[in-house]
């Protein structure tokens, strides 16, 4: 009974610190410190020092700042203009017309940025004024952008998959490959929803007057070649086994600089802003990971994860029942924390439970990222909602309502990969052959 009270007290301490704006990294370290004081006689200072040092120079973690830098450079380049010009001629006659630019544009940018917020900002700056001027429904513009930008968390190279891989000691290359088919599944679901709305309510869509010949379409597609080459260079090198994720990240940075130079957006000031943006983001994530590593080790010394796993096992929950409970838990948690914080806060406690019922940790990583994607479009702490609010000035609740159908599409995707786990595991298994 006393241990349950201590666990409850630690939870209250952590939530209290986060609610008062204490940095997530500090909150994790303090919670780990308090748990060891209460439940373990181990030397806290020595464990804190060795844990943070051991987890701060991980080779796998080296990919993180480089992928972030690649996204920062592309965020400030003319990539979004090129994507709009390259995609628009092909999508004009599709049901839903140019709204698909949000879906496919976000999918393409997600494959070179790894960040949901960067995807929302980059594509939103380009598509919102264009689609509004052409008379598209405001709710659909906001919804397709908010929902599709979540692909930045899943389609590799994904920053959050690197975080999960480091936190759980899973292969980042296998996680990247595992995210490809679920990412394409979500693109299909989002595009399918837009087409369904277009077929049911054609009156809310503007009449398309532009026509393009095949020659014009192919000519416009030339503007997509550089970004597709970048995707092929980064993801293809990992899939082919030529490069590790860290090596591929370095290649991605070089290619992004070349791409920015090629389209005329490269400058000293732009590189300086990109480096500063990548440094701030990387330091924030690294600090959170260091705090999470110490909390994870502290939990191991206290025995809390083992006791929780035993407690969960006593209910004899099936894997499906456990996943249903975890989905509700993660959705609620995601309403108050960003995706990376959700992953690092929960993995040390959740993974023993997950492994105890025979769930593949690789599959669980993709499941977790899709569920965390939902937190990007749920108030009050939905990062995509904040980004789009900054672009449009609209109320967050209005944007969240517009994104609700895409939240349901994400929930459907969770159901599909649960029923058909091969969607996640087939490509990684091929990679091992």
Which is more confident, 278 or 62?
Answer: 278
Q: Helix H segments across 57-134? A: 63-75, 79-91, 99-113, 116-133
How confident is the model over 143-186, as pLDDT tens digits? 999 899 888 888 877 888 888 988 888 888 899 889 989 999 99
Q: What share of the chain is helix, strand, coil (3-state, %, to 5)?
A: 80, 0, 20
Which pairs from 211-214 meet CB under 8 Å and 24+ separation?
A: 211/92, 212/89, 212/92
CA distance 64 to 250: 10
The pLDDT of 128-138, averaged and rounded, is: 84
CA distance 158 to 112: 9
CA distance 364 to 382: 22
The answer, yes or no, to whether residue 381 has pLDDT greater than 70, is no
Quickly tell me which residue has 């969960």 as its tokens.
Answer: 312
Quickly tell me which residue has 């390259």 as its tokens.
Answer: 86
Quickly tell me which residue has 């980042």 as its tokens.
Answer: 172
Q: Write down the pLDDT at residue 421.
A: 93
Q: Write down the pLDDT at residue 11.
A: 75
Q: Write down the pLDDT at residue 410.
A: 93
Q: CB neighbours of 317 closer than 8 A, spacing ≥ 6?
A: 325, 357
The pLDDT of 268-276, averaged and rounded, is: 90
The answer, yes or no, to whether residue 231 has pLDDT greater than 80, is no
CA nearest neighbour of 147 among 130, 124, 164, 163: 124
CA distance 272 to 257: 12
* Radius of gyration of the CA atoms of the chain, in A: 22
CA distance 240 to 431: 8
How confident is the model over 385-397, as pLDDT tens digits? 877 887 787 887 8
CA distance 4 to 9: 8
CA distance 231 to 234: 5
Q: How high does pLDDT run on average in the chain?
A: 81
The pLDDT of 85-90, averaged and rounded, is: 74
Residue count (the chain): 433
CA nearest neighbour of 322 among 358, 354, 351: 354
Phi and psi at residue 11, to the nearest 5°: -65, -45
Q: How far is CA 72 from the centre of its chain?
A: 15
Rounded to 10°, the helix 422-432/180-200 angle is: 140
CA distance 337 to 345: 10
Q: Write down the pLDDT at residue 308.
A: 63
Q: CB neighbours of 344 closer than 8 A, spacing ≥ 6?
A: 24, 28, 163, 167, 288, 289, 291, 292
How confident is the model over 26-69, as pLDDT tens digits? 887 888 888 888 877 888 888 888 887 876 776 666 777 887 78
Decide: residue 264, CB within 10 A, 0-12 exposed, 13-18 middle, 19+ buried: exposed
How confident is the model over 33-42, as pLDDT tens digits? 888 888 778 8
Choose from 126-135, 160-169, 404-413 the range with maximum mean pLDDT.
404-413
CA nearest neighbour of 201 among 127, 96, 88, 99: 96
CA distance 360 to 347: 14
Q: Write down the pLDDT at residue 380.
A: 63
Q: Write down the pLDDT at residue 419.
A: 93
Q: Write down the pLDDT at residue 418.
A: 94
Number of H helices, E strands in the chain: 22, 0
Choose from 111-120, 131-140, 299-308 the range with maximum mean pLDDT.
131-140
The pLDDT of 224-253, averaged and rounded, is: 78
Which is more confident, 271 or 23?
Answer: 271
The pLDDT of 226-232, averaged and rounded, is: 79
CA distance 12 to 18: 10
The answer, yes or no, to whether residue 1 has pLDDT greater than 60, is no
Choose from 3-12, 101-110, 232-241 the range with maximum mean pLDDT.
101-110
Is the Cβ–Cβ distance between 164 and 369 less than 8 Å? yes
How confident is the model over 325-369, as pLDDT tens digits? 888 888 877 776 667 777 877 787 788 888 878 889 999 999 999
153 DSSP assignment: G
> Tokens at residue 182, please?
């679920």
Quickly tell me which residue has 């939240």 as its tokens.
Answer: 407
Q: What percent of the chain has pLDDT over 90?
A: 14
Q: Write down the pLDDT at residue 415.
A: 93
Following CA atoms 408, 329, 292, 153 in sequence, which dihedral angle do they give, to the nearest 10 degrees? -10
The answer, yes or no, to whether residue 249 has pLDDT greater than 90, is no
Q: Please state, as a whole number, how many other Cβ atoms lie within 10 Å of the Cβ of residue 56.
A: 13
Which is more confident, 142 or 9?
Answer: 142
Q: Write down the pLDDT at residue 368.
A: 92
Q: Please state, as a whole number, how many other Cβ atoms lie within 10 Å of the Cβ of residue 315.
A: 10
How would residue 3 be classed by pLDDT, with cut points 50, 70 and 90? low
Strands of 255-299 (E only): list them. none
CA distance 129 to 126: 7
């Amino acid at each position: 009974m006393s241990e349950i009270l201590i666990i409850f007290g630690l939870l209250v301490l952590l939530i209290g610190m986060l609610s008062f704006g204490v940095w997530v990294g500090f909150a994790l370290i303090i919670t780990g410190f308090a748990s060891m004081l209460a439940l373990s006689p181990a030397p806290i200072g020595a464990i804190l020092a060795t844990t943070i040092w051991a987890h701060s120079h991980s080779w796998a973690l080296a990919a993180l700042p480089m992928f972030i830098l690649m996204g920062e450079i592309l965020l400030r380049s003319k990539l979004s203009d090129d994507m709009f010009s390259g995609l628009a001629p092909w999508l004009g006659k599709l049901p839903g017309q140019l709204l698909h630019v949000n879906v496919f544009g976000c999918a393409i940018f997600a494959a070179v940025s790894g960040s949901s917020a960067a995807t929302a900002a980059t594509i939103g700056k380009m598509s919102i004024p264009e689609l509004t001027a052409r008379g598209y429904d405001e709710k659909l513009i906001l919804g397709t952008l908010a929902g599709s930008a979540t692909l930045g968390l899943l389609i590799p190279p994904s920053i959050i998959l690197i975080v999960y891989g480091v936190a759980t000691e899973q292969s980042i290359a296998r996680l990247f490959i595992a995210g490809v088919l679920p990412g394409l599944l979500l693109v299909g679901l989002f595009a399918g929803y837009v087409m369904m709305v277009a077929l049911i309510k054609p009156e809310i869509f503007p009449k398309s007057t532009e026509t393009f010949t095949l020659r014009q379409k192919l000519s416009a597609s030339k503007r997509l070649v550089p970004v597709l080459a970048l995707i092929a260079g980064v993801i293809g090198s990992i899939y082919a086994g030529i490069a590790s994720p860290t090596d591929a990240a370095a290649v991605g940075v070089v290619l992004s600089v070349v791409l920015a130079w090629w389209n005329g957006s490269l400058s000293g000031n732009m590189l300086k802003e990109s480096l500063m943006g990548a440094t701030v983001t990387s330091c924030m994530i690294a600090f959170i990971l260091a705090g999470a590593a110490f909390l994870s080790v502290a939990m191991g010394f206290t025995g809390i994860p083992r006791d929780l796993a035993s407690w969960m096992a006593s209910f004899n929950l099936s894997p499906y029942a456990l996943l249903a409970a975890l989905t509700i838990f993660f959705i609620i948690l995601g309403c108050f924390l960003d995706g990376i914080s959700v992953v690092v806060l929960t993995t040390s406690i959740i993974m023993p439970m997950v492994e105890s019922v025979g769930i593949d940790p690789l599959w669980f990583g993709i499941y977790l990222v899709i569920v965390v994607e939902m937190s990007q479009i749920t108030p009050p702490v939905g990062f995509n909602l904040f980004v789009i609010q900054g672009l449009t000035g609209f109320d967050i609740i209005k944007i969240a309502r517009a994104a609700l159908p895409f939240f349901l599409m994400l929930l459907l995707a969770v159901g599909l990969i649960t029923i058909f786990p091969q969607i996640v595991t087939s490509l990684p298994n091929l990679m091992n052959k």
